A and B are shown apart, each in its own frame.
Chain A
Amino acid sequence: MQQAVPLPRLRVARRTSPYAPTWLGALLSYLVLAFWAVVVLFPIFWIFVTSFKLPIHVNDGPFYLPFIDFSPSGDAWRYIFVDLRNDTLRPYLNTVIVALSSSVLALALGTSAAYGILRFPYRPRLGVILLFVALAVLTVVAGGLGVPWQAGVASAVVLFLLLRKEAGGRVSRSFGNDDIAFWIISQRILPPVAVVIPIYVMFQRLHLLDTHLALIITYTAVNLPIVVWLMRDYFRQISIELEESAAIDGASPFRIFLSIVLPLSTPGLAATFLLVLVFSWNEYLLALFLTSANAQTLPLSIAAQNATRGPQWWYMSVLILIMITPVIAMAIALERYIARGLLVGAIKG
């Protein structure tokens, strides 16, 4: 008798949770969610099925279920992995190398910049910036006129160091950290197509076209703003006391950054890394301009499947599947970090 009393109370408490739907609401929610899950999964399922079809299965109209509608065949897989072994492997390796190195590089440069902007006051003077730009332009022009680039760069560096104080004194308007942060983040607005032709010419001059290095450098630059943006918001919520006590104990800024700040930001780093990796893994436009054969990445080799004999869906499906598997596996593994790490600043308000 006495035990029966708390039960109804519990039930009342559960029903008043603002997140608990009524049974009708739950039913409708499940319907909508299941519908969208089908919308998301069906295309992936269809590629999967198509990759086991023979041309005749595709051309004779839609067949849906392997073993029931049609007998699956590994021909497309065999063709991609055995017959075309090197033509599949090379773009795959290129993509892995380029995406991983550029993501790591963007993360390294971006996190340190974000940390610097958050913790150290910078006061770049307009004069110094103008001097730098003028010298850089002069060096490029001189290089175009036939001066050896080593000499040009060396004299520019010397001139910059000599004239720095002078220029800073003459035009002493200075910028703050917020200006720098805004400048870096606003670079994300820039559409890549607006800068890709000069970048193409630059790599052509340096004989770096169609190499991994060209893509790695470009992707790093493209992804830097987003790393700075996300990581700055993430670092902001780390308390400064730990860093200060380490600083008083004599740890250098690099030491503090590497052994205190970065380990504390793992969720943010994981989410940012995933996002940046996905961007470089799937990037199309820059690869289209900057590579031709040797450094071609997977999105391009998939797009090229539509060449002479019309779209060969079965081969394409295999390529799409092997391309999306690693990122999807990673996304599932890092799913709990994404919600916590991505845009933490924006969400915490």
Chain B
Amino acid sequence: MLKVRQRSGTGPAGPVPLRHRSRAGSWFESQTRSLFLLPAVLMLVFLSIFPLFVSLYLSLTRFQFVPGGFRLAFVGLANYRKLIVGIEREHFLGALAALSPAFWLVFSLVAIGLLVFVIRSLQMPTAAGRGVAGRMVFALVGGTVIWLLLRTLTPGGRPGSLFTTLIYVTGGIAVQYWLGLMLAYLASQELAGRRFFRVVFLLPMMITPVGIAYTFRILFDLGKGPFAPVWGALGLAEVSWVNYPWGARLAVMTGDIWQWTPFMFIVLLAALESVPTELLEAAMVDGASRWQMFWKVSWPHILPVTSTVVLIRLIEAFKIIDLPNVLTNGGPGTATESLTLHAFMAWRTLDIGGSAAVAYILLFVVTLSATSYISFIHRRVAEVV
């Protein structure tokens, strides 16, 4: 599901059993075979499946000190309630702006779009129950998210850690992808010295995010950073744009883009180079312009790879913590806190149940985003070409 490989004629779909001369009997044979897989599976069971269940339980409890130690008091869904309607709402969801006519106008357009999306799946000749249900869940969650997004991002509202994370993920990936694609296209041309660019463009990916955060803090320092004369000329020397919520979020995103554009670049470059030269030459003979050659030949050809890298980044980008934690310490206020950082802050104040609840919501958001991405975009793109 996460791969794009299984298309026609690319080798066997299932495992290819090796034909062994039967030696010490099939029992021994099958034990040897399971030894290949078992260590990895056991490791994952003990370090991700069991902890996941324990986390679920923790998210339903409250950590309390009692004489001689601590205990976990079962509190049901109180931790989740606290995040969504209770005292932590401003931190998690954000402050909601008042309802305005403009809001209703935009939201009703979105609602109509989602409704059409669901109704169209009902009209499809092969309307499978699961597909319809999946679209309904997606429309419901998507509608809620857009409702909250519109109200937190309009004047008077303020996004919380959930939407800050979504902004990092969507904004970051969009910029990284288009930037990486452009650079990959330019570097795929026959230019002297392109190996230099390839190596240099790879470097940011190797640098620790903590180091990047500090480096960008130095660079963004308006008074003492390297661009101080520029800011001074603009009369900005005494303010720090990390002190403004959107300035700080932009700083975090800049660091993230700087670090992860190389990943897009390297994979998309390899993909562009795997486009058959004959195809491009044929297009050229037919009189296609460079622009057309790229968008009509190369781009469709690399679309499956494109979709895979975006999926990988989608999964990884949700885990962001180091950059906001070091660059801005989550501030000003909680403006740059991502969900992971939010969970960490809660853990540090011994709100273990709350921390687990935030983590679980993050898990839900990532899983939902990844599965909707796979079923609505990735699968289609990977099959079309």
* Chain A interfacial positions (CB closer than 8 Å to B): 16-21, 25-26, 29-30, 32-33, 36-37, 39-44, 46-47, 50, 58-59, 61-62, 64, 109-110, 112-113, 115-122, 136, 140, 176-178, 180, 182, 184-199, 201-202, 217-218, 220-221, 224-225, 228-229, 233, 236-237, 240, 243-244, 247-248, 250, 252-254, 256-257, 278, 281-282, 284-285, 288-289, 298-300, 302-303, 305-306, 311, 313, 316-317, 320, 323-324, 327-328, 330-332, 335, 338-340, 342-343, 345-349
Query: B210, A303: Cβ atoms under 8 Å?
Result: yes
Most chain A beta carbons < 10 A, residue from B10, B200, B225: B200
A36, A46, A121, A191: the one within 8 Å of B215 (CB): A46
Question: Number of contacts between A and B (CB, 8 Å)?
Answer: 359
List chain B residues, Cβ under 8 A from A61.
223-224, 228
List chain B residues, Cβ under 8 A from A184.
40-41, 44
List chain A residues, Cβ under 8 A from B102.
none
B295 within 8 A of A: no
Query: B355, A224: Cβ atoms under 8 Å?
Result: no
A17, A29, A282, A346: the one within 8 Å of B209 (CB): A282
Query: A37, B197: Cβ atoms under 8 Å?
Result: yes
Query: A335, B208: Cβ atoms under 8 Å?
Result: no
Query: B19, A247: Cβ atoms under 8 Å?
Result: yes
Given contacts A197-B58, A220-B43, A299-B208, contact A29 B10 (CB under 8 A): no
Query: A256, B189: Cβ atoms under 8 Å?
Result: no
Given contacts A61-B224, A302-B211, contact A345 B5 (CB under 8 A): yes
Query: B321, A285: Cβ atoms under 8 Å?
Result: yes
List chain A residues, Cβ under 8 A from B234.
none
B154 within 8 A of A: no
Q: How far is the CA of A255 from the CA of B258 in the complex (A)?
A: 44
Q: Determine how close the nearest CB of chain B comes to the CB of A276; give it in whole angstroms.
A: 13
List chain B residues, Cβ under 8 A from A298.
208
List chain A residues, Cβ under 8 A from B46.
221
Query: A191, B363: Cβ atoms under 8 Å?
Result: yes
List chain A residues, Cβ under 8 A from B2.
182, 185-186, 229
Query: B47, A347: Cβ atoms under 8 Å?
Result: no
B1 within 8 A of A: yes
Beyond contacts A253-B20, A284-B209: 11 other A-B pairs, Cβ-Cβ < 8 A, are: A59-B224, A119-B17, A177-B15, A189-B370, A191-B340, A193-B344, A194-B359, A194-B362, A197-B347, A217-B43, A243-B18
Which residue of chain A has the shortest Cβ distance to B285 in the bound complex?
Answer: A16
Contact sample, A vs B, 15 pairs, CB 8 Å cutoff = A21-B191, A62-B225, A62-B228, A112-B37, A116-B33, A120-B37, A189-B367, A189-B370, A193-B344, A194-B359, A327-B207, A328-B207, A331-B205, A346-B267, A347-B271
Which residue of chain B has the shortest Cβ distance to A224 in the bound complex?
Answer: B40
Given contacts A30-B191, A338-B202, A346-B304, contact A221 B52 (CB under 8 A): no
Q: How far is the CA of A195 from the CA of B362 in the complex (A)?
A: 12
Given contacts A110-B40, A113-B36, A233-B3, contact A193 B359 (CB under 8 A): yes
B122 within 8 A of A: no
Query: B14, A349: Cβ atoms under 8 Å?
Result: no
B16, B41, B55: the one within 8 Å of A194 (CB): B55
Query: B14, A33: Cβ atoms under 8 Å?
Result: no
Q: Which 10 residue pairs across A and B have the least CB separation, nearest first?
A: A116-B36, A18-B280, A198-B51, A113-B40, A195-B51, A221-B47, A198-B54, A282-B208, A194-B359, A320-B211
Interface stretch, picked from B73-81, B109-117, B142-150, B180-188, is B180-188
B18, B271, B309: the one within 8 Å of A120 (CB): B18
List chain A residues, Cβ under 8 A from B204.
40
Query: A19, B190: Cβ atoms under 8 Å?
Result: yes
Q: How far is the CA of A40 from the CA of B370 in the complex (A)?
A: 30
List chain B residues, Cβ under 8 A from A20.
189-190
B248 within 8 A of A: no
Given contacts A117-B15, A199-B51, contact A345 B3 (CB under 8 A): yes
B97 within 8 A of A: no
Most chain A beta carbons < 10 A, residue from B18, B183, B228, B359: B18
Query: B5, A25: Cβ atoms under 8 Å?
Result: no
Query: A58, B281: Cβ atoms under 8 Å?
Result: no
Which residue of chain B has the shortest Cβ distance to A298 in the bound complex?
Answer: B208
B136 within 8 A of A: no
Query: B224, A58: Cβ atoms under 8 Å?
Result: yes
List chain A residues, Cβ under 8 A from B380.
none
Q: Determine how close the nearest CB of chain A comes to the CB of B341; give it in whole angstroms.
A: 9
Which residue of chain B has the shortest Cβ distance to A232 in the bound complex?
Answer: B3
Which residue of chain A has the shortest Cβ distance to B30 in the bound complex?
Answer: A120
Query: A195, B55: Cβ atoms under 8 Å?
Result: yes
Q: Determine how close the nearest CB of chain B comes to the CB of A3; give it in whole angstroms.
A: 26
Query: A187, B270: Cβ atoms under 8 Å?
Result: no
Could you give, for residues 293-307 of chain B, a 1 whenever the CB lies within 8 Å of some chain A CB and a 0 otherwise?
100000000001100
Which residue of chain B has the shortest Cβ distance to A120 in the bound complex?
Answer: B33
Q: How far is the CA of A180 from the CA of B15 in the complex (A)?
A: 12
Which residue of chain A has the shortest Cβ distance to B11 in the bound complex?
Answer: A236
Which residue of chain A has the shortest Cβ distance to B316 in the bound complex?
Answer: A188
List chain B residues, Cβ under 8 A from A328.
203, 206-207
Query: A349, B7: Cβ atoms under 8 Å?
Result: yes
Query: A324, B362: Cβ atoms under 8 Å?
Result: no
B48, B206, B217, B269: the one within 8 Å of A311 (CB): B217
B246 within 8 A of A: no
List chain B residues, Cβ under 8 A from A332.
199
Q: How far is the CA of A247 from the CA of B188 in the complex (A)?
A: 42
List chain B residues, Cβ under 8 A from A244.
18-19
Most chain B beta carbons < 10 A, residue from A20, A256, A285, A323: A285
Q: How far is the CA of A117 from the CA of B206 in the complex (A)?
A: 30
Query: B50, A62: Cβ atoms under 8 Å?
Result: no
Question: Which residues in chain B, 119-178, are within 8 Å of chain A measured between CB atoms?
Answer: none
Q: Determine how close the nearest CB of chain B comes to the CB of A45; give it in whole angstroms.
A: 9
Query: B47, A199: Cβ atoms under 8 Å?
Result: yes
List chain B residues, Cβ under 8 A from A188.
315
Given contacts A41-B200, A302-B208, contact A339 B284 (CB under 8 A): no
List chain A residues, Cβ under 8 A from B21.
247-248, 250
Query: A40, B201: Cβ atoms under 8 Å?
Result: yes
Given contacts A18-B293, A180-B37, A199-B47, contact A278 B205 (CB under 8 A): yes
Query: A62, B224: Cβ atoms under 8 Å?
Result: yes
List chain B residues, Cβ under 8 A from A187.
44, 48
Q: Determine how close the nearest CB of chain B comes to the CB of A42; give it in whole angstroms.
A: 8
B313 within 8 A of A: no
Query: B15, A119: Cβ atoms under 8 Å?
Result: yes
Q: How far is the CA of A119 from the CA of B16 in the complex (A)?
A: 5
List chain B residues, Cβ under 8 A from A178.
14
Q: How far is the CA of A338 from the CA of B199 in the complex (A)?
A: 11
List chain B residues, Cβ under 8 A from A117.
15, 37
